[in-house]
Amino acid sequence: MEPRDIDGDLTEILISEEQIRARLAEMSRQIEVDYAGTDLLLVGVLKGAVMVMADLARELHHPVTMDWMAVSSYGSGTQSSGVVRILKDLDTDLSGRNVLIVEDIIDSGLTLSWLLANLKTRGPASIEICALLRKPDAARVDIDVKYVGFNIPNQFVVGYGLDYDEKYRNLRSVGILAPHVYSTVAAAAL
Ligand code: XMP
Ligand code: MG
């Protein structure tokens, strides 16, 4: 859907569909160079990374396999706590594999740093991170993210896989959610 389909729920369109497509193409060219001649396993983090995984994988001129994890990070409201639980684990044995974690957004970084530590214990040949969005001002842990699409301000965003209360994931662009939408609900974002 387009921003006009949720009229009034966004204060601003932060990143357009065209900008996302162009940036994913640039990132894909870099990934193709970095992984030339090697196998590549993309690990998507459900549910937010569904759109970026689908578009990145199709943009890549490189054979990949794909697997998925679902994790839940507990916290209050829209804040992550770093306490992570695996809701769905990988089906793939990581030993000797070149793993690229595909994420929608890095906020505090707590979820991803936990995930990275967990996956590293499984013996991959290499493990790197690709995130469409990152909020540098929200970082609470230092993570080395090899591929970042866009650095964005420390505001709650939705669209292109990102939800608020499971809504807005099918918005084609990324936008800043209007405060009136979430001020009444104290739901935790996954
Ligand atoms: P961190 O890096 O803080 O983020 O552990 C964990 C997860 O929180 C979600 N998240 C967001 N979801 N808009 C969203 O829709 C946002 O602005 C946002 N910031 C964080 C996301 O699932 C991330 O993986
Ligand atoms: Mg996520």
The structural domains of the chain, with segments of one domain joined by +, span: 17-153
Q: Please work out whether the CB of residue 163 comes within 6 Å of at least one atom of ligand 1.
A: yes
Short-list 71, 125, 122, 118, CA closest to 99: 125
pTM of the model: 0.92
- Which residues are marked as active site? 107
Rounded to the nearest whole angstrom, what is the distance from the C-alpha of residue 121 to the centroid of ligand 1? 24
Ligand nearest to the CA of 52: 2
Q: Please work out whether the CB of residue 73 comes within 6 Å of at least one atom of ligand 1.
A: yes
Rounded to the nearest whole angstrom, what is the distance from the C-alpha of residue 93 to the centroid of ligand 1? 27
**Residue 182 pLDDT > 70:** yes
* CATH class, range 17-153: alpha beta
Phi, psi of 50 (to 5 degrees): -55, -45
Query: What would the mean pLDDT of 56-82 be, rounded to a whole number?
Result: 85
Residue nearest ligand 1's atom 24 by CA: 105
Q: Please work out whether the CB of residue 113 comes within 6 Å of at least one atom of ligand 1.
A: no
Task: Please write the tens of the pLDDT for every residue from 113-159.
Answer: 999 999 999 999 999 999 999 999 999 999 999 999 999 999 999 99
Q: Evaluate whether 169 touches 161 at the Cβ level (below 8 Å).
A: yes
Joined together, the tokens standing for residue 106 give 């890095």
